[in-house]
């Protein structure tokens, strides 16, 4: 597969390490009353869609960017690639 | 002056040189290196402090900047590798830190890497047996990070189709050198 | 007597005779021959025995679709079974053996299988050898493998090397026939980066086998001119002898270039083959078409071959299997074959064509409306039986029969990304449908356009469209005038009513009867048919077989062919040697080796090395007279604890962490607190995964308010760095923190033992005070050594002794170890390796990889209190889960044998004294064990249920695997200096 890196252009997927669902960015609040439940949900309850899937890839053999890749799990078509850092900032993650 | 004698990454007291038809392969330990990463929100201040220090500019994505007294190339978002001759700049990291202050995090990288310079008409024939990077169409003063023999390496192009440098992890210098020479011999 | 079947003309170089041997007999061929064409020229028709029935077989095709002519090529370690003689380029000294026969090719004892063919039908093995299951592996399979087989392996290591490589292009053109060449010229003139790959060693494709002129001149003139032009262009890469084996995601293709297969041995250092990964923006499949046989009784005899293949042999290779030949065809190409044969002076026995209204195109006897109903000649065709239109039977003497059942476009590559071919009634064949492969175009015979003129035009047109998609304007080119005969065909899949079996899959010995049987038994899906009968599952993937079987299947089911469907093709297009996939990654080159800065010095000391990850580390340093590793290791341990030992610890991962939020960041990735770590101090850190399991541990030093250096275990250096980047970019992108690995940059040595400070004081420059007061336990600092070299010093200890780790830039590592050893002479400083390191950490009860094994929590390791509840850190929340905090949770303990002479073994499980040794009674397990030279007996550390409360209990350590059962006492894991006095000395 080829992942079109937002900064570097098309790169072979072999240069990347796969992590999983991009929802891993949305780490729960540790001080919430039901923090254990929330973390359990966050870590273990993943969707496994036959179709579009937003997932985390790490450009280990490249610029060390974490990317959010939108990939169709049936066809491998990739319809979006973003820097995970931008996604995280946009979703309100900070310090 | 201290009493310790350096060794090259390949373990020699002098750099290794190999010559093949159409290719010269040189181990090059003569560069001091330091990584420079912008502190949060300080990219502009860093860029101007760097220009004051080096006269050149911080390189654009996947590029090398040779315009100043010392060279730098892009390594990652908001991160660069600065290079200068080792003999005159062994203290490069300390000098950069002094010049850049709190605009950047500076880390000595001189001995994190081994460097091999490839020169000649067969340079790309050699590299295309080792790396997925499109070395054949790589322009001068471009750089990319790529895998060679499972090792994360920087590939620097100094002259298109002709002169390249490969920077790889120092501890794997012997394996990287073996991969390079094997590919060089392999070219029909 | 040599080359009696060689004709005039051809594309062979008669000035270059080549000597070769087949089954021990010497022959001669010419440069430009394949093994098949050279054997044919020498009147060798019998080349192999079939897979199941051991039927005598000859050549069927002239290409990579060959199912019959499989040989063992070359000798010794280079012997390669199942090589297709039809694509084996002849070279001087070539040696080949026929296979699957005993004792000889002409008399094969196992041909008896053929007599029992009634029993050996589809599903025979499934039905016969169903039980007992235990017999399968030991008895049935070996027998079947011996009887029904292909070639045999040399069982020696492949002496050749194989390369891998990476290519990039705008347009990859697969196949250099008329369509491929015209596409290449069109795209090349437009300046696009193109690769033109063809599996043949001579470019030109089908043009090399036909006699059609181009622009009223031999086609070879145009081919040669085209190749010369392409070769002259810098944007073109011509790749003959290169098979594109598969189309993969996003325009990536695999291709095998046979660099040296046409040579006796590859030149020194040169590869035998190169496996290329080709990144394409667009691709054009111009792979042509493959002819298919017709199923008629005994259609597999040597001398029966495909009509188009026969044209290749007579036209390209000037070789013929016989002087009198019949042709059996259901389409116009068979008639062309007859004309070409006549032109070469070969007698045509008859052209047999089932189409009743067909007319002659030349001077040959035509039997219209007739079919071949049987053949004779066990080791080679002697005659055929023809059923005429009238129903009358006629016997014709002929030594060869050319068969054409029509042509199948080579759609394989369009299926690799799950594209399904579609049925074209006009040519009675499947043509490419939606390819599914990104950016793939198809042109020429591969899309069912069979005339030369069509191929030339389509190649050009498709190249223009493909480049247009890349915003590159390509122009039409002047194409040569060519034949434009689209031909006609009336499907004829099988001849019914004759006696004897009719073969569909020659390589796997599948006949029309097997398909019928499968259908009777309810295998209605083509995929089931394929697996039940093994049709199309041989090394040729049924290139000549699948279509015929599918048609017969459709007929049996009373359905149309498109309704019946088709199996789809998967990569590789032709078989690929495993060595090509391995490339250079063999033996010690399997992966790179990392060497420590003191490696050369350690080699000089005679060190024994061990691989830890990719690193080579000194395991121990034998001294003269030491005969057992334990002697060396015990000595190293005792010497270190007594005086001072030195160990290269460069391999530990080092991550430089800076930024105004660096402390906050580290506080989030370590479970224990780091925010208040003072500058100039080091702290042990415990890193958890988010699920609460321990991920890694190490020490982190604070060199400045905004500057830390974290160490990781050797094994986890890469994964911890990845984890930190994840935390930095994805979880807390607002923190001001920067990371970079510095593992390689610093040569780091542990200097351990009561005399370590005294030794270091001789190295560290005098202006740095490293006394216990100035530089206490866990201190760190940037210093200089040996007269001004920048260095780092950490007062940390893995051994439990007074110890330091000292780091200098890697290039000085070799000099430093020599300096340390020299300065240490007065203390009898002893280098120690990883074994002594391991013994000392077990004696001290320090956890390492065996304990941080991906299943253990901080609680298990006795470090539950380190997990801070007053801050957020990765893993802290889930480490509080009930399941991880049961009262009987495993806890790390020390274990010592009651009988001091017994050895404790890691991996042993712990049972209470009276309980049976089974999983139910399991109390825990031993993770690390060693002989402690300080205690004089074996010791272990492990995990025990509720271990903290069980000190003094006697348990059994049981390891059925090593036949171990000993009694052990539960003790503190801190065997040495439990109060830690030595550390603070």
Given this model, what pLDDT does residue C9 score?
Answer: 95
Our measurement of the distance from residue C914's CA atom to the centroid of its chain's CA atoms, rounded to an integer in Å, reads 52
The pLDDT confidence band at residue C306, using thresholds 50, 70 and 90, is very high
CA dist C319 → B56, B150, C39 (Å) = 71, 49, 9
| pLDDT 10s digits, C141-153 | 666 655 555 788 8
Q: Which CATH architecture has domain C293-405?
A: 3-Layer(bba) Sandwich (3.50)
The pLDDT confidence band at residue C707, using thresholds 50, 70 and 90, is very high
In terms of residue numbers, what domain contains B83? 31-111
The pLDDT confidence band at residue C99, using thresholds 50, 70 and 90, is confident
Could you state, in chain order, the average pLDDT of each consecutive group of 10 residues for chain B (188 residues)?
A: 94 97 97 98 97 96 96 98 97 97 97 98 97 97 96 97 98 98 90
Q: Which residue in the set B7, B113, B150 is minimally distant from C592, CB to CB?
A: B150
Residues of chain C with CATH 3.30.1360.120: 594-651+745-832
Give the pairing type, strands B71-76 and B64-65.
Answer: antiparallel
CATH number for the domain harbouring residue B21: 3.30.1360.120
What stretch of H or E contains B104?
strand B104-108
Chain A positions touching C279 (Cβ under 8 A) are: 2, 10, 12
Distance from CA of B16 to the nearest CA of C (A): 15
C249 touches chain A (CB under 8 A): yes
Residues shown for chain B: 188
The pLDDT confidence band at residue C1, using thresholds 50, 70 and 90, is very low
- Tell me the backbone φ, ψ of residue C602, rounded to 5 degrees: -65, -40
Given this model, what pLDDT does residue C962 score?
Answer: 82
Interface test with B, best of C194, C278, C588, C595 (most B CBs within 10 A): C595
The pLDDT confidence band at residue C222, using thresholds 50, 70 and 90, is very high
What residues have CB less than 8 Å from B39, skipping those under 6 apart?
B46, B102, B103, B104, B105, C659, C660, C736, C738
Q: What is residue C334's three-state secondary structure?
A: helix
Whether C466 has a pLDDT exceeding 70, the answer reads yes
Q: Which of B111, B137, B165 is the C-terminal boundary of a domain?
A: B111
CATH number for the domain harbouring residue B98: 3.30.70.1520
Given this model, what pLDDT does residue C114 score?
Answer: 77
| CB < 8 Å from A in window 50-69 of B | 61-62
Answer yes or no: is B3 within a domain: no
Residues B25 and B116 grouped into a single domain = yes
Whether C111 has a pLDDT exceeding 90, the answer reads no
Contact A36 C878 (CB under 8 A): yes
Answer yes or no: is B137 within a domain: yes
Number of independent structural domains in chain B: 2
CA atoms of C101 and C110, how far apart (whole Å): 7
Distance from CA of A11 to the nearest CA of B (A): 9
Q: What is the ipTM of this complex?
A: 0.99
C19 touches chain B (CB under 8 A): no
Residues of chain C with CATH 3.30.70.1400: 653-741
B131 touches chain A (CB under 8 A): no
What residues have CB less than 8 Å from C190, skipping those under 6 apart?
C463, C467, C472, C473, C474, C475
Residues B104 and B50 grouped into a single domain = yes
Contact B3 C786 (CB under 8 A): yes
Fold classification of C653-741 (topology level): Alpha-Beta Plaits (3.30.70)
The pLDDT confidence band at residue C138, using thresholds 50, 70 and 90, is low
Per residue, what are the HEC states of C551-587?
Answer: HHHHHHHCCCHHHHCCCCCCCCCCCCCHHHHHCCCCH
Whether C946 has a pLDDT exceeding 90, the answer reads yes
Q: Which of B61, B86, B111 is the C-terminal boundary of a domain?
A: B111
pLDDT, chain C, mean? 94
Closest residue, chain B, to A12 (C-alpha): B132
- Token representation of residue C645: 């030992």
| pLDDT 10s digits, C854-905 | 999 999 999 999 999 999 999 999 999 999 999 999 999 999 999 999 999 9
Answer yes or no: is B84 within a domain: yes
CA atoms of A61 and C486, how far apart (whole Å): 52
CA atoms of C730 and A89, how far apart (whole Å): 8
Average pLDDT over residues A58-82: 96
The residue that leads in pLDDT, C701 or C48, is C701
Residues B104 and B41 grouped into a single domain = yes
The pLDDT confidence band at residue C498, using thresholds 50, 70 and 90, is confident
Residues of chain C with CATH 3.10.20.440: 1-155
Phi/psi-derived region of residue C654, left when phi > 0, alpha when psi is between -120 and 50, beta in every other case? beta
Answer yes or no: is B10 within a domain: no
Q: Which residue in the set C277, C735, C876 is minimally distant from A30, CB to CB?
A: C876
Contact B147 A83 (CB under 8 A): no
Question: CA-CA-CA-CA torsion for C766, C767, C773, C777, nearest 10 degrees?
Answer: -80
| pLDDT 10s digits, C952-967 | 999 999 998 888 899 9
Distance from CA of A45 to the nearest CA of B (A): 32
Per residue, what are the HEC states of C410-460?
Answer: CCHHHHCCCCCCEEECCCCEEECCCCCCCCEEECHHHHCCCCHHHHHHHHH
Given this model, what pLDDT does residue C153 score?
Answer: 85
Per mean pLDDT, which range of B101-105, C194-198, C229-233, C417-421 is the poorest?
A: C417-421
Q: Which residue in the set B112, B136, B186 is minimally distant from C271, CB to CB?
A: B186
Residue among C341, C492, C316, C45 at smallest CA distance from C350 = C341
- Contact by Cβ (8 Å): C23, C105: yes
Residues B116 and B182 grouped into a single domain = yes
Residues B77 and B136 grouped into a single domain = no
| pLDDT 10s digits, C413-451 | 999 998 999 999 999 999 999 877 889 999 999 999 999
Interface test with A, best of C729, C738, C885 (most A CBs within 10 A): C729
Residue among C736, C802, C893 at smallest CA distance from A94 = C736
CA atoms of C730 and A25, how far apart (whole Å): 5
Contact C249 A1 (CB under 8 A): yes
Residues B22 and B58 grouped into a single domain = no
Residue among C277, B138, B47, C727 at smallest CA distance from B154 = B138
Interface test with A, best of B73, B74, B76 (most A CBs within 10 A): B76
Residues B51 and B69 grouped into a single domain = yes
Interface test with B, best of A5, A64, A82 (most B CBs within 10 A): A64
Average pLDDT over residues C658-682: 97
- Token representation of residue C573: 């297009």
C162-289+409-469 classified as CATH 3.30.930.10: no
Chain C positions touching A59 (Cβ under 8 A) are: none
Contact A85 C729 (CB under 8 A): yes
C594-651+745-832 classified as CATH 3.90.1010.10: no
Percent of chain C past pLDDT 70, that is, above it, reads: 97
Chain B positions touching C271 (Cβ under 8 A) are: 186
Answer yes or no: is B2 within a domain: no
- Which domains, from first to last, does chain A contain? 2-27+38-90 (3.30.2270.10)
Please tell me the class of the C497-576 domain. mainly alpha
Distance from CA of A36 to the nearest CA of C (A): 6
Closest residue, chain B, to C164 (C-alpha): B129
Closest residue, chain A, to B154 (C-alpha): A62
Given this model, what pLDDT does residue C100 score?
Answer: 77
Per mean pLDDT, which range of B48-52, C113-117, C358-362, C511-515 is the poorest?
A: C113-117
Q: Which of B84, B111, B138 is the C-terminal boundary of a domain?
A: B111
Handedness of CA C5, C6, C8, C11 (dihedral sign): positive
DSSP code per residue over C641-707 = HHT-EEEE-TTSEEEEEESTTHHHHHHHHSSS--TTPPTTEEEEEEEE-TTSBEEEEEEEEEEETTE
Residues B179 and B121 grouped into a single domain = yes
The pLDDT confidence band at residue C566, using thresholds 50, 70 and 90, is confident
Q: Which CATH architecture has domain C1-155?
A: Roll (3.10)
Q: How many CB atoms lie within 10 A of CB B37?
A: 23
Residue C256: is it exposed, middle or buried by C-beta count within 10 angstroms (0-12/13-18/19+)?
Answer: buried
Q: Which CATH architecture has domain C876-971?
A: Beta Barrel (2.40)
Residues of chain C with CATH 3.50.50.60: 162-289+409-469, 293-405
Closest residue, chain C, to A42 (C-alpha): C690
Answer yes or no: is B8 within a domain: no
């Amino acid at each position: 597969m080829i992942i079109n890196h937002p900064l570097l252009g098309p790169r072979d997927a072999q240069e990347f390490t796969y992590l999983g669902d991009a929802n891993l960015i949305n780490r729960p609040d540790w001080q919430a009353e039901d923090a254990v439940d929330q973390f359990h949900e966050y870590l273990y309850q993943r969707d496994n869609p036959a179709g579009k899937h937003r997932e985390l890839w790490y450009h280990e053999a490249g610029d060390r960017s974490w990317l959010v890749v939108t990939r169709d799990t049936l066809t491998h078509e990739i319809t979006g690639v973003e820097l995970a850092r931008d996604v995280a900032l946009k979703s309100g993650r900070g310090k | 002056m201290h009493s310790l004698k350096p060794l090259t990454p390949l373990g020699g007291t002098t750099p290794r040189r190999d010559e093949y038809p159409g290719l010269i392969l040189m181990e090059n330990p003569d560069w001091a290196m330091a990584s420079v990463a912008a502190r949060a929100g300080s990219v502009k201040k860093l860029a101007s402090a760097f220009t004051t220090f080096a006269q050149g500019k911080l390189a654009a994505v996947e590029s090398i900047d040779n315009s100043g007294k010392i060279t730098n190339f892009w390594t990652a978002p908001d991160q660069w590798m600065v290079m200068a001759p080792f003999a005159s700049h062994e203290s490069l990291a300390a000098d950069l830190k002094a010049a850049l202050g709190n605009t950047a995090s500076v880390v000595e990288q001189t001995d994190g890497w081994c460097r091999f310079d490839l020169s000649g008409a067969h340079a790309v024939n050699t590299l295309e047996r080792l790396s997925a990077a499109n070395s054949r169409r790589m322009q001068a003063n471009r750089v990319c990070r790529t895998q060679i023999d499972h090792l994360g390496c920087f590939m620097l192009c100094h002259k298109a189709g002709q002169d390249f440098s490969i920077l790889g992890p120092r501890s794997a210098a012997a394996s990287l050198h073996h991969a390079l020479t094997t590919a060089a011999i392999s070219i029909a | 007597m040599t080359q009696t079947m060689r004709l005039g003309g051809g594309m062979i170089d008669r000035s270059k005779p080549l000597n070769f041997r087949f089954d021990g007999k010497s022959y001669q061929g010419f440069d430009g021959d394949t093994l098949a064409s050279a054997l044919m020229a020498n009147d060798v028709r019998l080349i192999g025995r079939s897979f199941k029935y051991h039927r005598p077989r000859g050549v069927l095709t002239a290409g990579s679709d060959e199912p019959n002519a499989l040989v063992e090529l070359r000798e010794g370690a280079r012997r390669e079974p199942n090589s297709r003689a039809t694509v084996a380029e002849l070279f001087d000294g070539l040696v080949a053996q026929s296979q699957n026969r005993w004792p000889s090719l002409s008399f094969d004892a196992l041909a008896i299988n053929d007599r029992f063919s009634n029993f050996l039908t589809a599903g025979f093995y499934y039905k016969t050898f169903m039980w007992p299951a235990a017999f399968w592996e030991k008895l049935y399979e070996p027998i079947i493998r011996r009887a029904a087989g292909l070639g045999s392996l040399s069982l020696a290591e492949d002496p050749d090397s194989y390369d891998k490589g990476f290519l990039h292009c705008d347009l990859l053109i697969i196949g250099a026939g008329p369509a491929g060449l015209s596409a290449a010229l069109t795209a090349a003139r437009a300046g696009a980066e193109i690769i033109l790959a063809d599996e043949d060693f001579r470019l030109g494709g089908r043009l090399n086998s036909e006699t059609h002129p181009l622009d009223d001149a031999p086609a070879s003139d145009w081919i040669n001119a085209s190749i010369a032009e392409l070769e002259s262009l810098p944007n073109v890469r011509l790749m003959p002898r290169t098979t594109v084996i598969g189309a993969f995601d996003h325009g990536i293709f695999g291709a095998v270039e046979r660099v040296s297969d046409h040579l006796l041995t590859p030149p020194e250092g040169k590869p035998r083959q190169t496996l290329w990964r080709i990144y394409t923006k667009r691709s054009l499949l111009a792979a042509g078409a493959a002819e298919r046989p017709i199923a008629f009784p005994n259609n597999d005899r040597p001398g029966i071959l495909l009509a188009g293949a026969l044209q290749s042999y007579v036209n390209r290779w000037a070789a013929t299997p016989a002087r009198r030949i019949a042709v059996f065809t259901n389409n116009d190409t068979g008639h062309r074959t007859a004309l070409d044969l006549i032109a070469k002076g070969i007698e045509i026995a008859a052209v047999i064509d089932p189409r009743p209204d067909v007319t002659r195109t030349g001077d040959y006897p035509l039997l219209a409306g007739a079919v071949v109903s049987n053949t004779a000649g066990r080791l080679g065709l002697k005659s055929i039986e023809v059923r005429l239109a009238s129903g009358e039977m006629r016997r014709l003497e002929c030594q060869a029969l050319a068969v054409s059942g029509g042509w199948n476009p080579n759609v394989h590559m369009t299926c690799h990304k799950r594209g399904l071919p579609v049925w074209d009634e006009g040519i009675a064949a499947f043509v490419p449908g939606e390819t599914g492969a990104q950016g793939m175009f198809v042109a020429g015979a591969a899309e069912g356009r069979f005339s030369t003129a069509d191929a030339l035009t389509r190649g050009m047109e498709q190249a223009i469209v493909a480049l247009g998609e890349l915003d590159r304007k390509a122009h039409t080119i002047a194409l040569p005038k060519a034949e434009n005969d689209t031909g006609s065909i009336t499907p004829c899949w099988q001849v019914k009513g004759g006696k004897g079996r009719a073969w569909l899959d020659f390589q796997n010995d599948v006949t029309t009867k097997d398909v019928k049987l499968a259908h009777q038994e309810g295998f209605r899906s083509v995929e089931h048919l394929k697996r039940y009968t093994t049709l199309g599952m041989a090394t040729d993937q049924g290139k000549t077989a699948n279509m015929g079987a599918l048609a017969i299947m459709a007929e049996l089911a009373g359905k149309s062919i498109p309704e019946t469907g088709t199996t789809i093709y998967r990569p590789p297009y032709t078989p690929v040697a495993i060595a090509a996939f391995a490339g250079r990654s063999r033996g010690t080159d399997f992966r790179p080796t990392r060497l420590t800065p003191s490696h050369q010095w350690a080699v000089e000391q005679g060190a024994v090395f061990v691989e830890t990850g990719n690193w080579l580390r000194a395991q121990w340093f034998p001294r003269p007279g030491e005969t057992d590793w334990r002697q060396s290791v015990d000595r190293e341990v005792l010497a270190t604890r007594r005086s001072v030992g030195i160990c290269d610890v460069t391999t530990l991962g080092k991550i430089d962490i800076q930024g105004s939020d660096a402390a906050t960041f580290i506080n989030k990735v370590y479970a224990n607190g780091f925010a208040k770590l003072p500058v100039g101090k080091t702290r042990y850190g415990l890193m958890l995964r988010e699920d609460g399991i321990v991920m890694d541990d190490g020490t982190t030093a604070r060199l400045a308010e905004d500057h830390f250096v974290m160490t990781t275990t050797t094994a986890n250096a890469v994964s911890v760095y990845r984890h930190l980047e994840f935390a930095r970019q994805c979880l807390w992108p607002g923190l001001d923190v920067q990371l970079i690995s510095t593992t390689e940059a610093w040569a780091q040595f542990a200097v351990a033992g009561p005399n370590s400070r005294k030794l270091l004081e001789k190295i560290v420059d005098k202006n740095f005070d490293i006394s216990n007061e100035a530089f206490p336990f866990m201190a760190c600092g940037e210093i200089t050594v040996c007269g001004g070299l920048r260095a780092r010093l950490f007062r940390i200890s893995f051994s439990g002794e007074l110890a330091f780790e000292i780091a200098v830039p890697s290039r000085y590592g070799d000099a430093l170890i020599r300096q340390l050893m020299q300065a240490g002479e007065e203390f009898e400083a002893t280098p120690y390796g990883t074994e002594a390191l391991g013994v000392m950490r077990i004696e001290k009860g320090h956890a390492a990889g065996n304990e941080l094994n991906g299943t253990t929590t901080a609680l298990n390791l006795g470090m539950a209190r380190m997990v801070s509840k007053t801050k957020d850190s990765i893993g802290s929340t889930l480490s509080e889960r009930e399941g991880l905090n049961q009262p009987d949770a495993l806890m790390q303990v020390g274990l010592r044998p009651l009988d001091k002479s017994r050895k404790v073994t890691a991996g042993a499980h712990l049972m209470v004294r009276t309980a049976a040794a089974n999983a139910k009674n399991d109390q825990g397990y031993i993770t690390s064990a060693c002989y402690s030279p300080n205690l004089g007996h074996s010791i272990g550390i492990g995990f025990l249920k509720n271990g903290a409360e069980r000190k003094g209990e006697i348990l059994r350590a049981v390891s059925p695997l090593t036949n171990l059962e000993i009694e052990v006492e539960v003790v503190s894991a801190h065997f040495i200096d439990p109060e830690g006095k030595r550390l603070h000395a």
